[in-house]
Amino acid sequence: MKRLGLRAKLLLAMFLIISLSIGLVASQAVLLFQQDKSSYIFDLNASRAIKISDEVQANVRHLTEKMRIFAEAARLPVPEGTDRRLMLSSMLRQYPEFLLFSVREPDGDLKNVFLSRALSDLGLSVDRMHAAYGTGALPLDRLTAERPIIARLDLSPKLATFTLAVRGLPAPGAPAVAASAPAGQAAPGQTAAPAGEGQVPVLIAEFPLNRLYTARGESKLFEIYVTDGAGRPLVSVAEGREAPGATAEPGGAAVRSGFADLLPKSAQTAGTREYAASGVPMLAAYSPVGDLGLFTIVQIPKARAFEAASRLVTRSLIIAGVVCAAALALVFLFASSLTKSLVALTRATEQIGQGQFGVQVEVAGGGEIAALAARFRRMTEELSTRETALRDANQRLMESEKMSALGQLGAGIAHEVKNPLTSIRGYAQMGQRKIPHDHPLGEYFRTIEKETDRSLEILKNLLKFARQETAEMSVIDLNAVVADTVKLVSHQLMMKEVRLETRLCEQWLQVNGNANQIEQVLLNLFINAGDAMEGKGGGTITVTTDVPDGRNARILVADTGSGIPPEVVSKIFDPFFTTKPVGKGTGLGLSVSYGIVKEHKGEISVQSKVGEGTTFTIRIPIVQQAGETAAAAPAKEKRVRVINLR
């Protein structure tokens, strides 16, 4: 545990808490559901068993009344010449539920009244049927007037029937029923009827099994049985279909083994019980069928009864898993948000140790970690500011040293070259005076003079770049300088189809500087922009003045030209660097402008995007105090026209 991180410890603790909580709640919910489900199943089975018992009792009573009515009809006198047997057979054929009807006389003689074609087609004769009745499966000696005997003899596997034996009604002074020819010998082993009932015949009939109880599309989950007092099944209905004799597992096992273990030994009352049928747990209910000695049983396998509970448990486990996963995800997010700041601070310290002072650590919310991150952020901002200032100072120092070295070199070259060039120009002028005007050598002398003048002009610019000339500083108005420069160059730009727009600040922009030098800088920028847009359909130069920060006057010179490539932007202030064609520029214009701005304690920068244009920005400190104005000696300065340093 000591080696685990804070995030892992939080995840483990929350997982244990959530798992235990969900497990306890889910187990209690499932337990209560199973208990309630068991009570509901038992109540449902008991109510159905009682209802089926009432139905079976009503069916037996109805069949008993029909048998006694037919027996009384057999005692009635018939017209002379009428065959009583044919008459009774014709009467019984109108009731298809009667498969066989026999009468046992008080003397024990068993006579047949009717045998249906269905039994005859199955090879069941009257003799065979009567022999089955005498095997002891039908205890007629225990028959009473109030309680009939119901038995299932399984005479044919092709036709499920049950046997119903009842005592007929006594006929005072009437002879016993005169049946037709005897259908066999009296059942061997039969004993005399109880006292007072010896003169009453016994009526025996065979009925289809569905006349005892008929399935009516019960639920496919329940199994229904009608059994005798010993628990032997008479009727079996499983999964909504009648299945006499045996059913599929698990009900079939119960049918084969009987329900002796389920039914009560003595009490004739309804009840419920959970038991095992051939190892299969069952939820069962039973009910006696009146005083007929029968029972109805409704049962359902416990596994089927609790299928819904099993699905509920499965869904509960799935839901619990989803909840646990969601909770873990939330805990992970919480732990990550808690440790993310610490990890970020750790990485930030490593980056600062590597010299990356610009790193920032963002922490949302509050708390101790957020306060620590805020302090750390302030520290990094201060370090970053100091690093930026130090880098800028180093850059300015390097640029200054570079410009100083180039200036010294240029000044030395200019002084060394200026004197020979002056001599060459003097000799060229002298040569022109010594020869006639139309002499062939005159053209050569004039060319020499022109080129030496051009070289001297370059040397003059180089001396200006080297700051060998010191300009007088005074308080000037930048707006006036910009306006004068625009008037000076607007016509020249108009010839190149370039429009010059001004947006001057309404405030009087007082700076300590030299108007001629500022004008020279603006002329360089205007002429360069005009050259960039010449021959390309024209364009627009916009010059703007303002005071964005209250301390520095700003001049923006923006053009709509083709822009400067990024690889060239960093070189445009270098001496002798130019992108113009040979002979059109010296590469000193922007270098001289850079030096002039620096001499005015200002800054000059450029922003350019290829295809959109270029913007030069000049910042010069404004004069804010009266002392500065007095020190600057605001005498009216002499204005001269400057030379274009393209």
Give whole-number Cα distances, 187 to 196, 266, 486, in Å: 21, 31, 147
- Residue 618: what pLDDT? 94
Q: Does 243 score more than 70 pLDDT?
A: no
pTM: 0.47
Instruction: Say how many C-beta atoms besides its own lie within 10 A of residue 107's C-beta.
Output: 10
CA 624 to chain centre: 64
Strand pairing of 474-477 and 280-289? Answer: unpaired
Q: Which domains occur in the chain, in start order? A: 77-170+179-210 (no CATH), 357-469 (1.10.287), 471-631 (3.30.565.10)
Mean pLDDT for the stretch of residues 417-423: 80
- Model confidence over 56-97: pLDDT tens digits? 999 999 999 988 888 887 777 767 766 767 777 777 777 888
Mean pLDDT of 280-297: 90
pLDDT at 144: 83
Span of 274-283, 341-350, 487-496 with lowest mean pLDDT? 341-350
Q: What is the Cβ-side half-sphere exposure of residue 128, based on CA atoms within 13 angstroms?
A: 11
Q: Kindly report each contact of residues 256-262 with a partner whose C-beta sits within 8 Å and lies 24 or more positions away, as own/partner.
A: 258/227, 258/230, 258/231, 258/232, 258/233, 259/225, 259/227, 259/231, 259/233, 259/286, 259/295, 259/297, 260/230, 260/231, 261/231, 262/231, 262/286, 262/297
Phi, psi of 310 (to 5 degrees): -65, -45
| Long-range pairs for 302-306: beta carbons < 8 A, 24 or more residues apart | 302/274, 304/221, 305/37, 305/38, 305/41, 305/221, 306/34, 306/37
What CA–CA distance (Å, rounded) separates 605 from 601?
Answer: 14
pLDDT of 626 reads: 44
* pLDDT tens figures, 106-117: 888 888 888 888
pLDDT above 70 (res 255) = no
* Sheet with strand 498-503: strands edge to edge: 498-503, 539-546, 552-559, 613-621, 603-609
Name the token pair of 200: 């009453």
206 close to 96: Cβ distance less than 8 angstroms: no
Instruction: Indicate the DSSP class of residue 603.
Output: E
200 and 170 Cβ atoms separated by less than 8 Å: yes
Give the model confidence (pLDDT) of 422-450 as tens digits.
888 888 888 888 888 888 888 888 888 88
Asked if residue 26 has pLDDT above 80, the reply is no
pLDDT at 184: 34
CB 243 within 8 A of CB 233: no
In eight-state DSSP terms, residue 174 is: P
Dump strand ranges (E) for 161-279. Answer: 161-167, 202-208, 223-227, 233-238, 241-242, 271-277
Query: Could you tell me if 414 and 431 are in contact, meaning their C-beta atoms sit under 8 angstroms apart?
Result: no
What DSSP character marks residue 108? S
